[in-house]
Amino acid sequence: MIDQRLLAFEAVLQEGGFERAARRLSLTQSAVSQRVKLLEAELGQVLLVRSKPVRPTPAGRRLLPYLAQLRLMEAEARRALSPRQADGPLRLAVGVNADSLATWFIGAVAEVVRDEGIVLDCVVDDQDHTHALLADGEVLGCVSTRADPMRGCAAVRLGAMPYLCAGSPAFRARWFPHGLTPAALAQAPAIVFGRHDDMHEAFLLHHFGLDARRYPHHVVPSSEGFMAFAVAGLGYGFIPEIQAR
């Protein structure tokens, strides 16, 4: 029921180019390109940057949330009007941070995902940045630290997720024999999740006045890998209490 030109636009972005989008849609590359050009002509806006991979222009990015909502409404309409002819499972993109995904998130959504026939596309980013995925239309919902809802959205408090500053006993004995001191913290290797992970920096700056990134640190963009680094005595970092215990 969704306009075929919109489907072509969506496929090009998701596949990163016209050739792969054409294979996915079982069309020729020129047919996909023509559909996108017709959509751009109707809207009077260039929607795609023809780069490798293809990227949305600001206008194309503004179109993404509406396309996601159209897909959701189409799936709901099919289920309501023709439940036996529903066109496959309902696919939902959600933004979630790695620690939530590794701990409580799956248990929280398992029942509804299973019972409602939903398939999830989990887009992982830091909890302070997942709202940007929602604003850009890349996801339909997100786990975020922001309490204020965006326009057209609702915010529901899920609870608190305490973190512990943790390391192995051997690591503590070697690097912090006299406790957490500015001198020791400036030398001990830390563990951070990635470029969006500001938790460690904020802790050191607030409590010890240490400048951002003025300390040795491993970058480990995996919740499980983060824990493994700490257990192996390679560094210390902030681990969810539910995971550390």
In this predicted structure, the answer to whether residue 84 has a pLDDT above a threshold of 70 is no
Closest CA to 57 of 35, 34, 40: 40
Q: Give CA–CA dist 227/238, Å, rounded.
A: 9
Looking at 77-81, 126-130, 231-235, which range is the least confident one? Answer: 77-81
User: Which domains does the chain carry?
Assistant: 89-161 (3.40.190.10), 163-244 (3.40.190.10)
In this predicted structure, the answer to whether residue 166 has a pLDDT above a threshold of 80 is yes
- Which of 84-121 are b and which e, b meaning 16 or more Cβ less than 10 Å from the residue's Cβ? eebeeebebbbbbbbbbebbbbeeebeeebeeeeeebe
Please compute the mean of the pLDDT values over residues 188-216 and round it to a whole number. Answer: 85
DSSP annotation of 213 reads T
The three-point CA angle 218-99-156 to 5° equals 140
| Per-residue pLDDT at 168 | 96
**Residue 195 in contact with residue 241, Cβ under 8 Å?**
no
* pTM of the model as a whole: 0.71
pLDDT interval class at 195 (50, 70, 90): confident
In this predicted structure, the answer to whether residue 1 has a pLDDT above a threshold of 70 is no
Closest CA to 93 of 52, 121, 73, 72: 121
pLDDT interval class at 33 (50, 70, 90): very high
In this predicted structure, the answer to whether residue 21 has a pLDDT above a threshold of 60 is yes
pLDDT tens per residue across span 136-160: 778 889 999 988 888 778 899 999 9
| Per-residue pLDDT at 171 | 97
Q: Give CA–CA dist 119/75, Å, rounded.
A: 12
**Residue 36 in contact with residue 47, Cβ under 8 Å?**
yes
Q: Give CA–CA dist 101/113, Å, rounded.
A: 15
Average pLDDT of the chain?
Answer: 88
